[in-house]
Amino acid sequence: MLISFIVPVYNTELYLEECLNSLLNQDISYDEYEIICINDGSKDSSLDILNKYALTHSNIYVIDQQNSGVSVARNRGIEYCIERGIRYIAFLDADDVWAGRCYTQDIKEQLNSERWDAFHFIWYTANERISRGKKHDIEHHGDCSAETEKFGSHFGSYFYRTEILDKYRIRFPIGIRVQEDCVFRYVFFTIARTLNCIGKPQYIYRSNSASVLHAEHDSCDWYLNHILPAWEWAKKELYRISQSCSNV
């Protein structure tokens, strides 16, 4: 299998069907990609929705776990993909959507190449109804080092080579609630070498007022309690990876 989409789910019954439908609305058959949904102890009807979709769509797999946080859920999806030998992994939050018919035959052919460590797509920031949005263009074709400087790029607008995640044990940080996706992307692109920028819209990020990123906070306390620990984790991870490479 060339690619799996990992979708962590927690109490997103209002958006979940729209999310899943966007992934199913692609230009290739269901037997050519997988959707891995990790229910993280949802208390609403999210699990029922997932099970309903899994019964009628052969490429949807549901993993149910006790509430452990989004990083644990994503990491479980990564482990699942590694065990199944999936070549690339993409991530989609359950309240966001994918652009319709983005995953096409020409993208599939490029995924078959051994050249690329990652793919980057155009992405959008949209309002809660996804009736208006802002386009975020991409650049730096082939240059992964430049990606480590692009703090505003959404981590879900990439395909990541599973082999790199496996070899260097790159995972999402446990216990980090904010910017866990940013530091994951930063560590990955510090290691990766080749990037293919695709001029097609892919990820649509829903600006959700209930999101943790929109909670009121004091800027200084927010930095000390959330931002700083995330980047300290990234620093330690890169040191771990450098030490493991030097010992080979």
Per the CB < 8 A criterion, the answer to whether 131 and 237 are in contact is no
Question: How many angstroms separate the CA atoms of 225 and 223, rounded?
Answer: 6
Q: Which residue has the tokens 């989409």?
A: 5
Q: 181-228, pLDDT tens digit by residue?
A: 999 999 999 999 999 998 888 899 998 655 555 454 556 676 667 788
**Is the pLDDT assigned to residue 27 strictly greater than 90?**
no
Half-sphere exposure for 21 (CA within 13 Å, toward CB)? 5
Q: Looking at residue 152, what is its pLDDT?
A: 63
pTM given for the model: 0.91
Q: Looking at residue 216, what is its pLDDT?
A: 47
Q: Looking at residue 207, what is its pLDDT?
A: 83
Q: What is the pLDDT of the chain when averaged over all its residues?
A: 88
Specify the higher pLDDT residue, 209 or 158: 158
Q: What residues have CB less than 8 Å from 22, skipping those under 6 apart?
A: 97, 98, 99, 100, 204
User: What average pLDDT does range 142-158 have in this prediction?
Assistant: 75
Per the CB < 8 A criterion, the answer to whether 176 and 230 are in contact is yes
Paired strand residues for 158: 120
Closest CA to 107 of 34, 32, 57, 165: 32
Q: Looking at residue 139, what is its pLDDT?
A: 67
Q: Which residue has the tokens 């070549």?
A: 87
Q: Looking at residue 219, what is its pLDDT?
A: 64
Question: How many angstroms separate the CA atoms of 18 and 111, rounded?
Answer: 26
DSSP state, residue 172: P
Question: How many angstroms separate the CA atoms of 204 and 95, rounded?
Answer: 10
